[in-house]
Amino acid sequence: MAPLHLTTVTRTQGNNQALKDAGVTPQGFSLDFREVPVLVQAFRRMVRELEFDVCEMAFTTYLCARAHGKRFTALPIFLVRGFHHGAIVHHPTAGVRTPADLQGRRVGVNRGYTVTTGVWARGILSDEYGVDLEKVTWVPSGDEHVAEYRRPANVVAMRPGEDLQTSVTTGELAAAVGVEASGPLVPLIPDAEEAAFAALRQRGLYPINHLVVVKDELLEAHPALANALFEAFAEAKRRYVEKLRADAIEAPTPTDRMYQRVMELTGEDPLPYGIAPNRPMIEQLISHAVRQRILDRPPAVTDLFPQSTHQLTA
């Protein structure tokens, strides 16, 4: 029997490379990759149109989409991790010296309020610096992928003609989340990279950014699909991690170096897949989403993933 072809979007990166060019495929299925240069546009198209069979997606986008009944389900394949202490930028002369100075001010957010980087960054401001997030007016530069989501009262759309970088530079916005630190803009948290690794050492903070979602109709019609996809993504990831351990990656990227440093610090796989090794971070992101009024109530972690994947790890 010919394999079932699945339209698939995932960014070409180290842990997915073997799926695209080394012959790793899910047993009984074939991945028909569609390249979407701006990956967040694929998230939006999946949420609004169910355009793909299998799609990489930001974790908070998935949580929000799931809460609004979108017909896809995540697999516990956590493709992207990252640190977000450096995601909050400001102008050094704009009167914001510490995170506490953001209270009572307007703070920009690149794209939507539900963007995962912003959720983790606000969580850091609250957990590590005591910022009352309700006392900040958050100003997204775009709308939300999940059109049905309604923002809380302290989230106000950017004014017509405003630009995030310009508005931070002039002091119209006290800071912005998810904007590149360039030119006059610098991270609000000093030595952001070292602060991030200190948080990893001290409280295990290792944020998850992206996972994989699959159309519900396919999971229902093909009971073996979830596990077959998990194993294929896991095998591709294993090959990448072996290269990281052997320092065998030609021209390593900053992301490669970050994963190598995580591995050196923890002694563990820097990209664990499965619910069990990731439960603390999943629960923490859910908690942030509830406190930031992205979710009305916390879902059970196991409700987010197919039953057949609950015990899988890689």
> How do residues 227-249 score in pLDDT, each as one tens digit?
999 999 999 999 999 999 999 99
Q: Which residues of 50-62 are buried (b: 16+ CB within 10 A; e: fewer)?
A: bbbbbbbbbbbbb
Please give the Cα distance from 117 to 101 (Å, whole number).
Answer: 21
Residue 22: predicted pLDDT: 83
DSSP 100: G
Residues in the chain predicted with pLDDT less than 50, given as ranges, are: none
Predicted TM-score (pTM) of this structure: 0.97
- Give the containing element (helix H, strand E) for 108: strand 106-109
Write out the DSSP string of 110-155.
SS-TT-HHHHHHHHHHHHHH---GGGSEEEESS--SSTT----TTB
- Angle 254-266/192-203 helices, nearest 10 degrees? 30
**Strand-pair partners of 138:** 107, 155
DSSP 313: B
Residue 2: predicted pLDDT: 82
